[in-house]
Structure 1
């Protein structure tokens, strides 16, 4: 260590590369007028220098093998605190001497002692940081309740300005476990050494050691969390599965870094250098800025990447959520002016992620709009792939409703003139998300329904068209009811669209089964001739058989809707037919080929109706008595994550 000028040591807390702002020791203030302390007698100065000579030389690694291989703070805590007090007293003596005679031999001797002491403390500072890496890891440090408590929990000083170490250790040991106790002791020792070296004008040497060791810990922590420097071109070349794993690693990294890594480092830095705001800021910034900027820069690269995949929007929303929910901690941990670039990077990533979400939803809408309205209605009128993929997509998006409300808060909504007034009548509550995202979801569903209407507009089979619309709208309503879309669209929206489902089902019933119902007389038990009874049986047989054969391929995917439709049909057909059958079957018993005249018993009609809407494709025969219901959900087996057609192929 180079020999320093005497006046520099005594009066200046600066070094060649660092200036301490806002710090001054009581001793320095007491002589700022140039007048020595009158109660600091010459004998006390001599005693102070003599005591310092004995203790400092004892721990001089240049003259003592014992001192060279032994740690003062580890060997004897009480002697370590005595060493700190001796250095502080020596500093006071030097202040007093320099005002009397700046060239005195005592002052030269004191200066030599101070340099030896600083070498010792520099060595101790390094050893404590190095040997306690495990106990000074951010997780252990961040276990302390807060930075504020960390800075104030050990704020009781002795009259000479040193920390009352024994009292602190006793208090700490009563409240925290053994690991945290070791961490707290190491932090206290570091603070004692740092304050002593800083007040003696050796700040540069102290903080240099601190920055080197602690930055390596932060850099290693960031690397272990899976955050590495990466370029946009590298991301664009990655398979989606690889990028997805990196995003998941990043999400975990943000959680850990905010609760332990950077939080713990800020706590430690604030505590060790509590005596100087400028040193705290300088140390923490140099230690954490690079790693934090790397951490919060990754989402921007993902947002700007050209990678296309159905799940990308959800990963983007996850990253947005991670930053926004941790913003208070980000703003608090990186509150220094010199860490403004970290906060700016986090905000920039939020903005880029927002732009990406809005762009992807616009692209999603555009893709739906471009879907060909002439594409074939799926066999049996079941739920269309467009409906399945769209509602799966929107119901998952609804889980991010609060985040989406933020993203779309200042984004212009779809033209109000394009939406039915019913979309604006849903009740809102104080805790519901902002109307902007509710409007956006309602609009996207409306686009879907319009595309479904377009698919049946020119379809020849109106019965199939109504089954198709009932199935698809029912699926839409079901997904709304069983997801957070329910809170975005409201109960009125659900009720109105449930009525539309019933209307489509009623239309189907009237169009498909109206002819069957019409064959039965209004008064089934009225007296008629055998010939009239025979003709009614004949018409019913023909109409019922033909209708069942046509409807046997139709499917109603939802079990509840399927049962409701079958029950409705059965109520309109079975009771009337049973009454007619019971009243008039005897009139045709004597006829030849009576089995052809009365083909269906009342129970048979009910059984045939109960087998409808499972999607039986065997049209060669008449009615079917047993059909598997497996086909009803065949289209739902399409994996949404494939995203083919509507969302594009995997990246």
Structure 2
């Protein structure tokens, strides 16, 4: 405050009783020293300031001394009279300024001791008020309320320097502030800031900080516990069965978002506001309050990753925890931006590293499990193997975490030979445009699966069954890729190449399973001249078709598109060829009593039997079947 302003505040003006200059000069605020018989000794400026300040500050400070009046013990200054609270703060600040001005040459003065006693009384009063506001407004100062109201707290900065204004201006500002924000949390925040500013400026920051950290730390610790996050030792996690550990992980997953966006964010906003006058104090305060809870929260994933068994079935929960930290990393980095909170961010990053290591190890274990699989074939039907469904279901879920896996697998080394990648993986992987690590990993796991299926297919005694088994399983793989996020990882080139392989397997099945039937029919039915030749052809067709039908009727093709495609091709080769031969010679053979029994099948009978294939069980006479894919539509006749 300018010196002129200080003088006008602490000194009364001279009073004149006459217009006569000689009279007015002898009558002033201070009596003439000659009347008392000692030499003039005018008070110094600092002494005058101290006198005036003690005169104004002592009544209001002593009024709220809880040790001298019952009223002060049971009443809250800020709750009872906010206007008087502002005046109280103002004169406490003025008292501190007067003491600083006066102390230079009067360190042992009785007035300085008196001022110091008043200051201690005032600080005890403010400590009491600070504690009451924090305690009585726990609900209004919960982190959720604070964080949601953070956008409307800018006005509170105007309630920081009331001591610099006159009483009327103080009242006006306070009333405007209360009108602008009517909710209790904002008012409580304003009062806390007012008290904190005063105590810090008067040298009582330590006392203020102690009260604040004790109360707010208990709120944060209680919040972490209520969110279901507890501190576990490494041995406790190691001994915990997966169901119990998964329950803890689920609690953590639900807790991390609330803790970051609400609990820690709210505490940061509150401490930044209350202790805005001191960067070092607000940093120290926030660190003390949140450090223990944050370390417990962000340390739990590392504990799980280091001390639980690395198994593929657990990897999705591990990825969920990785996502929980990485998705909230911008907020974590912003909230814990102080130098003293670096170890909290380091703990979160360490957990990410450990979780990534867990995922890579689990994926390697998954690959090993595919290679070591010893589950038996369903020999009869050449059906989709359970290994295929398990692996592809696993990979399709894994693809939902593609963004996270891209980060985790980013440092994976590329394959040594790109030609091998293109040949077996099913996509081009050039030096100029290499496939992402996650794409290579997924493609490699599918390749391991297909190699394992190829080995299992060799257990079929009938080679045609081997090819149908491979066609069935590869078709399942392709469809699983096409209908999941795997499509975006592997791409259209991969799908096209593996679609072609499915058709190659199906064609090989048709050739090996049915060619001996089609070979019994002549390409040109009219080229057969004698009845004996015709009869022999009918006999060979009946035998080969019957044999092939009985053998292939146990086969299952679950995919309706693949099933219909195979049937259409068989119909072109067998049904149409037999129909031409039957139309050319069937009627004549049936007229001959000796040859009529040779014609066992009408073309419609052949069509019905072909239509009933690939559903698993067929009655050889009736053509009934039990469908494995009841929702699919299929033609009864080719």
For residues 61-89 of structure 1, give each alpha carbon's deviation from its aligned partner in whole angstroms, at most 9, with x where no partner exists.
Answer: 11221111111111111111111111111
Which residue of structure 1 lines up, in the alignment, with residue 124 of structure 2? 119
From the superposition, tell whether residues 153 and 409 of structure 1 become closer, same or farther in structure 2 (CA, over 3 Å).
Answer: farther
Instruction: State yes or no: 1:154 paired with 2:157.
Output: yes
In 2: Cα distance, 1:169 partner to 1:555 partner: 83
Shift of residue 532, structure 1, vs aligned partner? 3.5
From the superposition, tell whether residues 161 and 609 of structure 1 become closer, same or farther in structure 2 (CA, over 3 Å).
Answer: farther
2:623 to 622, 625, 630: 625
In 2: Cα distance, 1:530 partner to 1:632 partner: 45
Which residue of structure 1 lines up, in the alignment, with residue 472 of structure 2? 471
From the superposition, tell whether residues 625 and 40 of structure 1 become closer, same or farther in structure 2 (CA, over 3 Å).
Answer: farther
SS at match of 1:397: helix
Contact 2:315 2:359 in 1 (8 A): yes
In 2: Cα distance, 1:240 partner to 1:255 partner: 23
Deviates more, 1:249-258 or 1:150-159: 150-159
SS at match of 1:297: helix
From the superposition, tell whether residues 167 and 626 of structure 1 become closer, same or farther in structure 2 (CA, over 3 Å).
Answer: farther
Instruction: State yes or no: 1:300 paired with 2:298.
Output: no
Matches within 5 A, 1:97-496: 97-145=102-150, 150=153, 154-155=157-158, 157-158=160-161, 160=163, 167=173, 170=176, 181-307=183-309, 309-372=311-374, 376=377, 378-416=379-417, 419-422=420-423, 426=427, 435-457=436-458, 459-496=460-497
SS at match of 1:555: coil
In 1: Cα distance, 2:2 partner to 2:194 partner: 16
Shift of residue 495, structure 1, vs aligned partner? 0.1
Which residue of structure 2 lines up, in the alignment, with residue 82 of structure 1? 87
Specify the structure having the higher radius of gyration (Cα). Answer: 2
Shift of residue 375, structure 1, vs aligned partner? 5.0
Contact 2:590 2:599 in 1 (8 A): no
Contact 1:557 1:632 in 2 (8 A): no
Shift of residue 486, structure 1, vs aligned partner? 1.0
For residues 584-615 of structure 1, give each alpha carbon's deviation from its aligned partner in whole angstroms, at most 9, with x where no partner exists.
Answer: 32202223376632222222222111111111
From the superposition, tell whether residues 39 and 262 of structure 1 become closer, same or farther in structure 2 (CA, over 3 Å).
Answer: farther
Contact 1:158 1:164 in 2 (8 A): no
Instruction: State yes or no: 1:536 paired with 2:537.
Output: yes
From the superposition, tell whether residues 612 and 623 of structure 1 become closer, same or farther in structure 2 (CA, over 3 Å).
Answer: farther
Shift of residue 402, structure 1, vs aligned partner? 1.4
In 2: Cα distance, 1:433 partner to 1:68 partner: 76
In 2: Cα distance, 1:593 partner to 1:625 partner: 29
From the superposition, tell whether residues 516 and 205 of structure 1 become closer, same or farther in structure 2 (CA, over 3 Å).
Answer: same
Instruction: State yes or no: 1:513 paired with 2:495.
Output: no
In 1: Cα distance, 2:178 partner to 2:570 partner: 78
Q: RCO greater where, 1 or 2, for CA within 8 Å and sep 6 or more?
A: 1
Shift of residue 468, structure 1, vs aligned partner? 0.5
From the superposition, tell whether residues 118 and 158 of structure 1 become closer, same or farther in structure 2 (CA, over 3 Å).
Answer: closer
Which residue of structure 2 lines up, in the alignment, with residue 49 of structure 1? 54
Shift of residue 457, structure 1, vs aligned partner? 3.5
For residues 498-533 of structure 1, give each alpha carbon's deviation from its aligned partner in whole angstroms, at most 9, with x where no partner exists.
Answer: 000001001111111112222223234667444433
Which residue of structure 2 lines up, in the alignment, with residue 503 of structure 1? 504
From the superposition, tell whether residues 41 and 26 of structure 1 become closer, same or farther in structure 2 (CA, over 3 Å).
Answer: closer
In 2: Cα distance, 1:231 partner to 1:458 partner: 50
In 2: Cα distance, 1:137 partner to 1:119 partner: 26
In 2: Cα distance, 1:439 partner to 1:632 partner: 36
In 1: Cα distance, 2:74 partner to 2:596 partner: 113
Which consecutive unaligned segments of at least 5 residues does structure 2 have? 7-42, 632-638
Contact 2:193 2:273 in 1 (8 A): yes
In 1: Cα distance, 2:301 partner to 2:393 partner: 25
Which residue of structure 2 lines up, in the alignment, with residue 575 of structure 1? 576
In 2: Cα distance, 1:554 partner to 1:173 partner: 81
SS at match of 1:341: helix
For residues 354-378 of structure 1, give each alpha carbon's deviation from its aligned partner in whole angstroms, at most 9, with x where no partner exists.
Answer: 1111111112112222335x95454
Which residue of structure 1 lines up, in the alignment, with residue 36 of structure 2? none
Deviates more, 1:275-284 or 1:514-523: 514-523
Deviates more, 1:105-114 or 1:240-249: 105-114
For residues 219-277 of structure 1, give each alpha carbon's deviation from its aligned partner in whole angstroms, at most 9, with x where no partner exists.
Answer: 10010011111122222222211111110110111111100011111111111111111
Normalising by structure 2, we get a TM-score of: 0.85
From the superposition, tell whether residues 595 and 420 of structure 1 become closer, same or farther in structure 2 (CA, over 3 Å).
Answer: farther
From the superposition, tell whether residues 172 and 71 of structure 1 become closer, same or farther in structure 2 (CA, over 3 Å).
Answer: closer
Which consecutive unaligned segments of at least 5 residues does structure 1 have? 1-24, 31-37, 634-651
In 1: Cα distance, 2:343 partner to 2:310 partner: 30
In 2: Cα distance, 1:39 partner to 1:160 partner: 23
CA RMSD of aligned residues (A): 3.0
* Corresponding residue pairs, total: 588
Normalising by structure 1, we get a TM-score of: 0.84
From the superposition, tell whether residues 40 and 500 of structure 1 become closer, same or farther in structure 2 (CA, over 3 Å).
Answer: farther
From the superposition, tell whether residues 379 and 184 of structure 1 become closer, same or farther in structure 2 (CA, over 3 Å).
Answer: farther
Shift of residue 582, structure 1, vs aligned partner? 3.2
